[in-house]
């Protein structure tokens, strides 16, 4: 009997193996040697309508988990023998992710009819959003390093955490260009410049892909300039801004990487919801850029077509609008199940559904899920490794921006300072930023902790919170003032606080859904700063924040200011090392700071008309125009940041003076460290089109390099700009490079250009070059009285205009408060009318005793 049973088992085993072999041979989609497109077509041909719809849908944690425990009965009831497209476990602990993602995948592969693997999905904006993983600095900090290679290194490290938890698809990176600083999601962006956002996106995506993780670009569509700064609000812009600002980073990443997933946005553009825009999701993304992957809805975005945008009457219409536009996968809403009935009734074309399913399957094949659904090749990856902690600290070190350092107060010398007051709502509180798994001090290093450890036992630390971020309560300020009075220096840590995704949203002033109507420091922070300042103790302000604030008073009065964007779990050590000189600050602003909320927008790449016409900014002491009581400029501009050392720039050169339209400009600039510290400098290259058919920005970042120099060391930095990138866009979104002159500018920030050079691209037109034949100057035969008035082109009288006699170079008069003048000069003399902010005008007297002048704004 035993022999018969053993023989039977042996027979069944052999039969099973034989059948499996036959099955593999007869099912082309399981043949890894076939092209992906053929495997997709074969698999799609075998799928039922229910199986197709499941592939473009999401299993959410609430569907199959009871708290932290997977309920396999719920999973079986939900899925049956049908594999789904995606599954997440956002509320789960890290250990429960590692425990449960495998059995979910095992169910899909081994218990469904076709065995299609599922995309296990996680968030990792700046680290995986599950406890026990490394918390990195937020994107706004990463961008401020001006070191894109760090984005690739970060993605590689995050991939280790993701694999250890069983995830293969990540909802990152966020590459939105943000122009509205009141918006809570500023912190998720690398910056206000599309080129910079695109470069960081390319590096981060590449880091994930080469580590076996499928990244997802978000949020596709114009997103970063919501009306009034309110989350989900519409973005209104023209076609040029759409493509050259908001979509530019997405285009760069799609064309330069193998990205397979893109997330659509909630909001609308020009009255069309982005998640139902055929133009954005199909005509641009697929037809123009050649994207082959799938588009995934931001959570609930399809449902919002009927509940927020009201372009759909019901779920069926919402489903039709989204999937027809090119939105393939639905997350956190339930509109796509209605496609089955619509197709069965002949009200919807199944081929549109097939296209969406085909894209999801293509991504699964391309990421190797069919060959390695359980990630066996990534087993043993360490979570929260020492290497990842070191990288988090490095990004923090390179991202902090020194905004002011009067009389070289920083770095602090622990041999000379006996006591430090550490003050403020963010002094003894970690601030990791939104999309973190914790807000608890036990999971990171606070500034107070870092300062205590780095300062040593010989320096007394006096701590006082002073106030909160969300209350006007000032009862704690007296304690902070007393701490400052008995200290050699006071360090105030203010700024903002963001939520922890799906965990803790209390007392948030920043992050998704936490928008501000005013960019002044929240709560009683301003009063705290001013009262501490009144003690006479030198004050260092450290903004720990996810967005810029309006800090003009602080700039004008405090000794030193730093901005430490949410800097991850090592933030406290990082800021302490910077304060005490163990690390030289090298971060640069990727967002311009406004002088006030009313100054918005303040991004650097504005159009020539957009920072005032009159060039006569005023104040309460001397009211003017553009604005009456303030200049229209940014408080701190894009690219700005100080160091503990100093750099000089010399010899900007280009390989040619004249280029063809297919050439690349190769520029070099010499940089020397003339200070006492080894430091890192960000060499920035901007380009300005001198004259063009369409209005172009005053300058645009086209390349940058971050270099490290020892004291006295020099280096020649090489920078490159393809002429093809200097294109214009016409009304039909056609791109063309217009021949002409371009100014190449090298500097330390957008408003601190040190060197410039003009080059020529193509063959510029010579029509109408305004050549004026200079008249023969007649010698004056007599002196005469000349009077008149000076007005601008809007007929406004201009006081303070110099009248210069050309032959002598002397100023012979200045217009009075009514714009009038009266001079004695030669009857054939030339008079030059000149004033800062106006274009000079030259006119011959020619025996005229009344000469009225009209001047234009600008400089010659």
CA-to-CA separations, 494 to 191, 460, 583, in angstroms, rounded: 21, 21, 21
Side-chain half-sphere exposure of 437, counting CA atoms within 13 A: 22
User: Which secondary-structure segment (H or E) carries 306?
Assistant: helix 304-307
CB 575 within 8 A of CB 566: no
Order of all β-strands in the sheet with 539-545:
401-405, 560-565, 539-545, 489-495, 419-423, 460-464
Mind giving me the DSSP string for 706-751? EEEE-TT-EEEEEEEEEGGGG-EE-TT--EEPPPEEEEEEEEEETT
Tokens 């030289």 identify what position?
584
CB 346 within 8 A of CB 284: no
Residues in the chain: 860
Cis peptide bond upstream of 415, omega within 30: no
- Exactly one of 298, 434, 577, 792 is catalytic; which is it? 298
413 among known catalytic residues: no
Q: Please name which of 410, 393, 391 lies closest in space to residue 578, comparing C-alpha atoms.
A: 410
Range list of β-strands (E), 772-839: 783-792, 802-805, 810-814, 820-826, 830-834
Distance from C-alpha of 796 to C-alpha of 625, rounded to nearest angstrom: 12
Beta pairing class for 261-264 and 752-761: unpaired
Beta pairing class for 658-659 and 752-761: parallel
| Cross-strand pairs, 540 | 491, 560
CB 32 within 8 A of CB 370: yes
Question: Which residues make Cβ contacts (< 8 Å) with residue 622, sequence separation at least 6?
Answer: none
Distance from C-alpha of 106 to C-alpha of 83, rounded to nearest angstrom: 11
Question: Which residues make Cβ contacts (< 8 Å) with residue 372, sequence separation at least 6?
Answer: none
Residue 693 CA from chain centroid, whole number:
29
Distance from C-alpha of 758 to C-alpha of 315, rounded to nearest angstrom: 57
Q: Please name which of 142, 159, 588 lies closest in space to residue 367, comparing C-alpha atoms.
A: 159
The two three-digit tokens of residue 395, written as one number: 């990004």
Distance from C-alpha of 217 to C-alpha of 170, rounded to nearest angstrom: 9
Residues annotated as catalytic (active site), given as ranges: 298
């Amino acid at each position: 009997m035993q022999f018969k049973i053993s023989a039977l088992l042996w027979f069944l085993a052999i039969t099973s193996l034989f059948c499996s072999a036959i099955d593999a041979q007869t099912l082309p989609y399981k043949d890894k040697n076939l092209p992906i497109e053929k495997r997709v077509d074969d698999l799609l041909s075998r799928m039922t309508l229910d199986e197709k719809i499941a592939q473009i849908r999401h299993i959410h944690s609430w569907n199959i988990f009871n708290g932290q425990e997977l309920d396999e009965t719920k999973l079986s009831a939900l899925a049956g023998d049908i594999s789904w497209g995606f599954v997440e476990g956002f509320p789960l602990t890290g250990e429960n992710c590692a425990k449960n993602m495998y059995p979910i995948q095992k169910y899909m592969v081994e218990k469904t009819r076709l065995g299609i693997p599922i995309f296990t999905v996680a968030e990792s904006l700046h680290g995986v959003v599950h406890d026990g993983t490394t918390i990195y600095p937020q994107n706004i900090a990463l961008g401020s390093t001006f070191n894109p290679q760090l984005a690739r290194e970060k993605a590689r490290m995050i991939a280790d955490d993701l694999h250890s938890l069983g995830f293969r698809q990540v909802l990152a990176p966020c590459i939105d260009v943000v122009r509205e600083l009141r918006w809570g999601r500023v912190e998720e962006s690398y910056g206000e410049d599309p080129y910079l956002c695109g470069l960081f996106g390319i590096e981060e995506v590449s880091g994930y892909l080469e580590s076996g993780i499928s990244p997802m670009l978000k949020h596709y569509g114009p997103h970063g300039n919501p009306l009034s700064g309110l989350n989900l609000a519409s973005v209104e812009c023209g076609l040029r801004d759409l493509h050259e600002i908001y979509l530019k980073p997405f285009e760069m990443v799609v064309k330069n990487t193998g990205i397979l997933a893109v997330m659509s946005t909630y909001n609308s553009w020009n009255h069309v919801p982005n998640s139902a825009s055929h133009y954005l999701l199909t005509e641009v993304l697929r037809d123009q850029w050649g994207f082959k992957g799938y588009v995934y809805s931001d959570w609930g975005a399809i449902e919002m077509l009927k509940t927020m945008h009201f372009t759909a009457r019901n779920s069926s219409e919402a489903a039709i609008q989204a999937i027809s536009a090119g939105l393939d996968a639905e997350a956190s809403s339930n509109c796509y199940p209605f496609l089955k009935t619509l197709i069965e009734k002949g009200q919807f074309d199944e081929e549109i559904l097939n296209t969406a399913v085909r894209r999801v399957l293509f991504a699964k094949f391309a990421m190797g899920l069919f060959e390695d659904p359980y990630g066996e090749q990534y087993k043993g990856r360490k979570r929260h490794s020492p290497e990842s902690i070191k990288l988090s600290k490095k990004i923090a070190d390179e991202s902090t921006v020194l905004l002011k350092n009067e009389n070289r107060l920083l770095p602090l010398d622990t041999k000379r300072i006996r006591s430090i007051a550490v003050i403020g709502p963010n002094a003894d509180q970690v601030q990791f930023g939104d999309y973190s798994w914790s807000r608890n001090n036990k999971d990171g290093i606070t500034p107070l902790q870092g300062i205590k450890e780095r300062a040593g036992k010989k320096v007394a630390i006096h701590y006082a919170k002073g106030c909160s971020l969300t209350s006007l309560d000032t009862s704690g300020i007296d304690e902070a003032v007393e701490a400052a009075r008995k200290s050699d220096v006071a360090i105030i840590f203010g700024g903002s606080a963001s939520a922890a995704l799906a965990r803790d949203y209390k007392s948030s002033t920043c992050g998704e859904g936490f928008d501000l109507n005013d960019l002044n420091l929240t709560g009683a922070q301003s009063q705290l700063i001013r009262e501490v300042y009144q003690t006479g103790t030198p004050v260092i302000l450290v903004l720990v924040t996810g967005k810029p604030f309006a800090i003009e008073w602080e700039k004008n009065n405090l000794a030193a200011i730093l901005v430490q964007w949410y800097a991850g779990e090592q933030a406290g050590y990082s800021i302490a090392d910077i304060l005490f000189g163990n690390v030289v600050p090298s971060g640069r602003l990727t967002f311009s700071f406004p002088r006030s909320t009313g100054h918005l927008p303040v991004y650097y790449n504005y159009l020539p008309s957009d920072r005032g016409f009159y060039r006569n900014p005023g104040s309460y002491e001397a009211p003017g125009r553009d604005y009456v009581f303030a200049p229209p400029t940014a408080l701190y501009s894009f690219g700005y940041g100080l160091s503990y050392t100093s750099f000089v720039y010399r010899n900007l050169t280009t390989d040619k003076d004249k280029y063809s339209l297919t050439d690349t400009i190769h520029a070099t600039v010499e940089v020397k460290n003339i200070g006492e510290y080894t430091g890192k400098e960000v060499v920035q290259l901007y380009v300005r089109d001198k004259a063009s058919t369409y209005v172009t920005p005053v300058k645009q970042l086209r390349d940058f390099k971050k270099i490290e120099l020892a004291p006295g060391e020099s280096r020649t930095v090489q920078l490159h700009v393809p002429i093809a990138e200097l294109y214009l866009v016409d009304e039909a979104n056609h791109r063309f490079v217009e021949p002409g002159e371009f100014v190449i500018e090298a500097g330390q920030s957008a408003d601190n250009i040190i060197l410039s050079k003009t080059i020529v691209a193509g063959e510029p037109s010579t029509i109408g070059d305004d050549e004026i034949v200079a008249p023969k100057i007649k010698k004056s035969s007599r002196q005469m009285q000349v009077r008149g008035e000076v007005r601008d082109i809007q007929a406004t009288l201009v006081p303070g205009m110099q009248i210069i006699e050309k032959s002598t170079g002397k100023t012979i008069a200045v217009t009075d408060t009514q714009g009038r003048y009266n001079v004695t000069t030669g009857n054939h003399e030339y008079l030059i009318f000149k004033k800062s902010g106006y274009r000079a005008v030259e006119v011959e007297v020619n025996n005229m005793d009344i000469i009225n002048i009209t001047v234009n704004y600008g400089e010659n």
